[in-house]
Structure 1
């Protein structure tokens, strides 16, 4: 005999509660017991769906992180700047405070890792599209190693967040964007 079917409303309530707790208190303070209590559910309701905090948070991020916009500014530099600006906004969100702990926990959980990598891939699509447009416009001759380009744009933002500095200033974000643009195009002329 099969068990009771899952209640999709309860699952959504648990995810919403976890998102609220994550954004207000951070990853490190989040517990599955706390999610259950605040959602008006039993601990077993949470543990039946997510065996660990890292799996719950991977699903929460997959559900609640908004998509990255894909503005077509007409230039590679403009598209890179728009993508970097959106990343900067995401890295400045308070829930990122516990991201180091989440990433450390993620390494030990293949299922949560797959969920998170799929999320990262979807959120990187605007960069993929910007590069494809730049190739079609003739701004760059070939498609570069896309994950590396994303790392070049996001790396300074992540570093600043994880090591306690403030957000990048607009001028610093321009330097990052210009540097990636220069690497991709080989030109030293600012757009």
Structure 2
């Protein structure tokens, strides 16, 4: 099922309010207190690891500061990746950009922000690009039309952040604006 069809159906059912999907309070690897440490850390005795891994997915990217129009494969194996899901109608997402900018500017990780909006249906791509400029984004921004990444991460509301290690295993995943020190800690663990 295409992203457009799914979200159009959800919007019609009243599940999407103000461009932000209403969903589960906890996500991949989250615990009941909202911390997002992956609790499925594997068995140290035999070296196995059952952490959730995220498939490399081709997303459409936009011509915006730090981003080029086209397509990109994300996440890339070999280094930590921060995936952040947002909506232009989400005020928390707008405020969270300050934290993301501060961390992105001085860590060794790839940042990718992905709008959850249905581009060219519920929001124009120019609106996403204008929002990106207004909030000083400086890394890749795009859309996951087929919902592969958001489904793999159970990213049901925004903002949603996932930190992946070099093998694309989830180290951290959760809903809401993450405190700067917590985001840095997650990247350090990746």
Give your verdict on TM over 0.5.
Answer: no
Q: Which has the higher strand share?
A: 2
RCO comparison, higher one (Cα < 8 Å, 6+): 2
TM-score by length of 1: 0.24
Bigger radius of gyration: 1
TM-score by length of 2: 0.24
Q: Which has the higher helix share?
A: 1
